Amino acid sequence: MMRTFRRGIHPLENKLTADIPLQEFPTPDKVYIPLSQHIGAPAEAIVKEGDEVKCGTLIAAAKGNMSACVHSSVSGTVLGIVQRTSARGTPVPHVCIQNDGRYEQERLNILENPSREEIIERIKEAGIVGMGGATFPTHIKYQTTKKIDTLIINASECEPYLTCDHRLMLDETDEFLRGVVYLKKAADAARAVIGVEKNKKDAYIKLKEKAAGLGIDVRLLKTKYPQGSEKQLIYAITRRFVPTCGLPSDIGVIVSNVHTAYSLCRAIELGEPCYKRAVTVSGGGVEQKGNFFIRIGVPYGYIYEKLRGNMVEDDTHKILVGGPMMGIALHSLEPVTTKGASGVLFLTDKEFYHEKETQCINCASCVRSCPMNLMPLEIEACILGGQEDRLEKYHVQSCVECGACAYVCPAKRPLLQAIRLAKQTIAKRRTK
Amino acid sequence: MKNLVVSSSPHIVSDRSTKKIMSDVLIALTPAIIASVCIYGLYSLLVLFLSIGSCVLAEFLYNLVRKKEQTIYDLSAIVTGTILALNLPPVVPFYVPIVGGFFAIIIVKMLFGGIGRNFANPAITARIFLLLSWGSLMTSFVSPVNFGEAGVMGLFSYFENIVNPNLPDAITSATPLAFAKGALQNGANPLENINMLDMFLGKTGGSAGEVSALAILIGGAYLLIKKIIDWKIPAIYITSTVIFTAIFYANTGYAGEYVYSYLFGGGLLFGAFFMATDYATSPNTFIGTIIYSLGLGLLTVLIRKFSPMDEGVSFAILLMNIVVPLLDKIIPKPFGAPKKTVKDLFLKLKTKRKSKDGEVCSTAAQISNSSVPFVKEEGGSDGKK
């Protein structure tokens, strides 16, 4: 029986690149590696202008515990540390490296039969973060002192368009599964479950075949958005609820993404730190859609020029990093690929919405679609009406910002924006 | 590259829109309209057009006078007009639907803020307003046209009554619910002298759109398949009416007959599928919907049995509409909130006055799922207010 969570939506999948195998992507002459690609404190640069680096050289060390190391993705000369705008539009220091085109490697030592501590240390050294998009430093997740019984690998990839995890499972099955084994050991979990959505049946069958001997369980889940949301995925697989302000580890579960497992396997078996990742490039604005291994620090403008083909430049009106439900819209082509960027979509006018909002008709579609069982229409009414006291009652902080409410709204109201504003309003009131 | 659109997520939306929902409702109402023409002739179409016309005109004029953006294109005025017309007796003087249409749109809908803001269903409130204004007109129901006798000319029956408010007794007909009421007083079988199949198909006295159970069920099925309405409202409303009828009429000895009569003879099906499900006036939450639908069923049966009126659906819906703002105060627990026990409730009552403690999420779980940058919240709110 296929499992799932309550409520949720069924957006058009548009997985245009599901059949295109992963390929290596060329790298430009200069890469800009951001020092803050993760949640927490930015890493501290340890290289300076003129230093020679290789692929995998540590260029910025984790600062404090809630941080992650950053490595060079090319070999060449450091040109300096420059401020560039990130995808979110904020200025972030980037290490600019001149690519010498030789791609010489600097590897960590190869671990054989690593212990739990060694694996966690390797996660930290290799700068692995949650590669599904959240970019939470992975070693912190696994350092937990709580008893973990289940490791869940999030292979649902519920966002439309994105297919990089799907291709990773098909093209790099063995490395991925070995990565899952390492993660299971790092979590000290009794079982590991891979949750795959039904629209990736080919990956499910392939994994099922190979995972049997490794003590990994593969589960088929209903195709529904947001199946890949951590709390919903845990509920679908274990029927446990993550408490409102708690962590998955509170109920004995750790969730990691497919790419995290894959990167870990490479870090342990090849000693390769996390300096490139699988990225889906899709949308109507590019001719050569596909799934590529792209090094960290490649400007999106370079990707666009390489893949645009004969498409007219002015047809692309929206560029998204991530999927269309939760992704970030870029203001220019200046930002670069990061560890958390699982896809970049070049959308034409037809592929995103322009409708103007109309009056709320109180249909409660948003309430019926909310995976967290919130009332978006009431939250929006409070925000618009300035009723901050009333806002306190609606559990705004539980929102996972999946956007299901705004997706289903027939009046096209910007419900998620209202909820984000409500979150900030409440946070401000609480700190007063 | 120029003209890049920067906006916050989500970047795609479904193709549902207010207009599409309203046109789906109109499609679902079509079988009932066709049935009313087949049963009472073209006069019911005249009433329909007058009602729709006055609703649209009322909304147009209101927006014009208040200098607001024109909202008639969302089709909701047409839906209100159609539902109102189908709620009226098949033959009413021309001014009745016009007054009703203006009342529904201006007083009930627009003055309260337009679509989605009305406190009660406009069509129902207008119907009750008309019932209180022209009691005898609103309760005299003509018999179905006998097409076997009148032939095609039967389509043009009743047009002589366009201004005449007083229908001759010869052409009026009692509704199945009036029979039921009479039967209750006499202790007789409510289905005596009534053909059960005719009643299901609608060849009986009653409001123009409410008589044909078959047509309404077709339209209702369409709404359910297209997921326009919440299935729980008609399902619970109809089931609870059936159950309450069976309970309240158990002592008459004809409970089964009363159930049949109440199910297919009055406005129950039409009300359950098209009026109780009105978005603005039905609850937004699961628990609210259940209380609302159960209340509808109970009130319908109570009014039908204990009041002097034959029919109770519109009053039941109006009364429950007024309860809805209260039901919407029930806020569901979010996913993952701890289950409340009786002990917690006591604790809550005790501590309620001391502090208003809300949940504070500064944990990584919250952040790893959210796309806002890391914002650390300083401590809780305990004792700071």
> pLDDT for B112-165, tens place per residue?
988 888 889 999 999 999 999 988 888 888 888 777 777 777 777 777 777 776
Q: Which two tokens stand for residue A262?
A: 């894959």
Min Cα–Cα distance to chain B from A190, Å: 22
- The answer to whether A407 touches B10, Cβ cutoff 8 Å, is yes
Strand, helix or coil at A195?
Answer: strand
d(CA B210, CA B127) in angstroms, rounded, equals 13
Position B365 scores a pLDDT of: 42
Contacts of A66 (CB under 8 A, 6+ apart): A39, A40, A41, A137, A140
- Among A247, A378, A392, beta carbon nearest to B358: A392
**Which residues from chain B sit within 8 angstroms of residue A248, using beta carbons?**
365
- Angle between helices B76-87 and B43-65 in degrees, nearest 10: 140
Min Cα–Cα distance to chain A from B25, Å: 13
Residue B369 forms part of a structural domain = no
Residues 6-65, chain A, touching B (beta carbon < 8 A): 6, 9, 11-12, 39-40
Min Cα–Cα distance to chain A from B124, Å: 18
**Which of the given ranges, A99-113, B79-93, B132-146, has the highest pLDDT on average?**
B79-93
Residue B366 forms part of a structural domain = no
> CB distance B365–A378 less than 8 Å?
no
- The answer to whether A321 touches A330, Cβ cutoff 8 Å, is yes
Mean pLDDT of chain A: 88
Strand order in the sheet with A52-53: A30-34, A91-99, A76-85, A52-53
d(CA A198, CA A318) in angstroms, rounded, equals 29
Q: Tell whether A240 is within 8 A of chain B (Cβ).
A: no
Please give the model's pTM, rounded to 2 decimal places: 0.85
Report the sign of the C-alpha dihedral through residues B111, B113, B116, B117, in that order: negative
For residue B25, pLDDT beyond 90: yes
Contacts of A291 (CB under 8 A, 6+ apart): A17, A20, A21, A22, A23, A163, A164, A167, A278, A279, A280, A281
Q: How far apart are the first and last CA of chain B?
A: 51
Position A1 scores a pLDDT of: 67
Q: What ipTM does the predicted assembly reach?
A: 0.84
Under the banding of pLDDT at 50, 70 and 90, the label for residue B371 is very low
Neighbours of B305 (CB within 10 A): 18
Q: Tell whether B68 is within 8 A of chain A (Cβ).
A: no
Give DSSP secondary structure letters for A38-95: SSSSPPEE---TT-EE-BT-EEEE--SSS---EE-SS-EEEEEEEEEE-TTS-EEEEE
Of the listed ranges A254-263, B51-60, B239-248, B258-267, the one predicted with least confidence: B258-267
d(CA B312, CA B267) in angstroms, rounded, equals 8
> CB distance B9–A230 less than 8 Å?
no
- Among B21, B338, B370, beta carbon nearest to A410: B21
Q: Tell whether A417 is within 8 A of chain B (Cβ).
A: yes
Mean pLDDT of B263-291: 89
> CB distance A373–B335 less than 8 Å?
yes
C-alpha distances out from residue A72 to A121, A279, B86, Å: 19, 18, 73
Q: Among B45, B36, B31, which Cα is nearest to B81's?
A: B45
Under the banding of pLDDT at 50, 70 and 90, the label for residue B353 is low
d(CA A191, CA A150) in angstroms, rounded, equals 5
> CB distance A353–B2 less than 8 Å?
no
**Which residues from chain B sit within 8 angstroms of residue A90, using beta carbons?**
373
d(CA B114, CA B106) in angstroms, rounded, equals 9
Residue B82 forms part of a structural domain = yes
> CB distance B13–A362 less than 8 Å?
no
C-alpha distances out from residue B356 to A393, A425, B352, B381, Å: 10, 17, 7, 8
Chain B residue with minimal CA distance to A135? B368
- Among A242, A325, A411, beta carbon nearest to B12: A325
Q: Which two tokens stand for residue A189?
A: 């979990």
Q: What is the pLDDT of residues A112-125, one digit of tens each?
A: 888 888 888 888 88
d(CA B270, CA A213) in angstroms, rounded, equals 60
Report the sign of the C-alpha dihedral through residues B245, B246, B251, B255, in that order: positive
Residue B10 forms part of a structural domain = no
Contacts of B342 (CB under 8 A, 6+ apart): none
For residue A109, pLDDT beyond 90: no
Under the banding of pLDDT at 50, 70 and 90, the label for residue B169 is low
> CB distance A329–B364 less than 8 Å?
no
Min Cα–Cα distance to chain A from B29, Å: 19
B344/A337: higher pLDDT: A337
The secondary structure of residue A112, as a DSSP letter, is: S
**Which residues from chain A sit within 8 angstroms of residue B328, using beta carbons?**
378
Of the listed ranges A248-262, B20-34, B364-378, the one predicted with least confidence: B364-378
Under the banding of pLDDT at 50, 70 and 90, the label for residue B354 is low
> CB distance B6–A140 less than 8 Å?
no
Residue B318 forms part of a structural domain = yes
d(CA B303, CA A149) in angstroms, rounded, equals 58
Verify cis geometry, omega within 30 degrees of 0, for the bond prior to A28: no
Residue B3 forms part of a structural domain = no
d(CA A430, CA B385) in angstroms, rounded, equals 9
Under the banding of pLDDT at 50, 70 and 90, the label for residue B258 is confident
d(CA A153, CA A197) in angstroms, rounded, equals 12
Chain B residue with minimal CA distance to A250? B365
Verify cis geometry, omega within 30 degrees of 0, for the bond prior to A226: yes
Q: Which residue in B324, B335, B372 has the most chain A C-beta atoms within 10 A of its own C-beta, making it the best mutation to test that interface?
A: B335
d(CA A162, CA B33) in angstroms, rounded, equals 47
Q: Tell whether A77 is within 8 A of chain B (Cβ).
A: no
Residues 87-116, chain B, touching A (beta carbon < 8 A): 114-116
B169/A5: higher pLDDT: A5
Residue B157 forms part of a structural domain = yes
Mean pLDDT of chain B: 82
Q: Which two tokens stand for residue B165?
A: 């408010």
- Among B11, B280, B359, beta carbon nearest to A318: B11
> CB distance A353–B12 less than 8 Å?
yes
Residues 119-148, chain A, touching B (beta carbon < 8 A): 130, 134, 136, 140-141
For residue A61, pLDDT beyond 50: yes
Which ranges of B136-210 does DSSP label H, i.e. alpha helix? 147-150, 176-186, 196-201
For residue B374, pLDDT beyond 50: no
Q: What is the count of structural domains for chain B?
A: 1
Neighbours of B197 (CB within 10 A): 8
d(CA A72, CA A106) in angstroms, rounded, equals 10
Q: Tell whether B69 is within 8 A of chain A (Cβ).
A: no
Min Cα–Cα distance to chain A from B282, Å: 9
Residues 25-54, chain B, touching A (beta carbon < 8 A): none
Burial of B155 (0-12, 13-18, 19+ CB in 10 A): middle
> CB distance B335–A371 less than 8 Å?
yes
Q: Among A316, A106, A381, A133, which Cα is nearest to B329's?
A: A381
Residue B335 forms part of a structural domain = no
How many inter-chain contacts (A to B, CB under 8 Å) are there? 235
C-alpha distances out from residue B331 to A141, A392, A395, A404, B60, Å: 33, 11, 9, 19, 36
Q: Which residue in B1, B229, B377 has the most chain A C-beta atoms within 10 A of its own C-beta, making it the best mutation to test that interface?
A: B1
For residue A399, pLDDT beyond 50: yes
Min Cα–Cα distance to chain A from B259, Å: 31
B375/A92: higher pLDDT: A92
Q: Tell whether B17 is within 8 A of chain A (Cβ).
A: yes
- Among A160, A362, A430, beta carbon nearest to B12: A160
Please give the residue range of the domain that contains residue B35. 18-327
Position B359 scores a pLDDT of: 45
- The answer to whether A187 touches A254, Cβ cutoff 8 Å, is yes
- The answer to whether A363 touches B279, Cβ cutoff 8 Å, is yes
Min Cα–Cα distance to chain A from B316, Å: 21
Position B352 scores a pLDDT of: 60
- Among B11, B230, B370, beta carbon nearest to A352: B11
Burial of B330 (0-12, 13-18, 19+ CB in 10 A): middle
Place of tokens 């619910």: B177
- The answer to whether B85 touches B129, Cβ cutoff 8 Å, is no
> CB distance A88–B373 less than 8 Å?
yes
Q: Tell whether B384 is within 8 A of chain A (Cβ).
A: yes
For residue A238, pLDDT beyond 50: yes
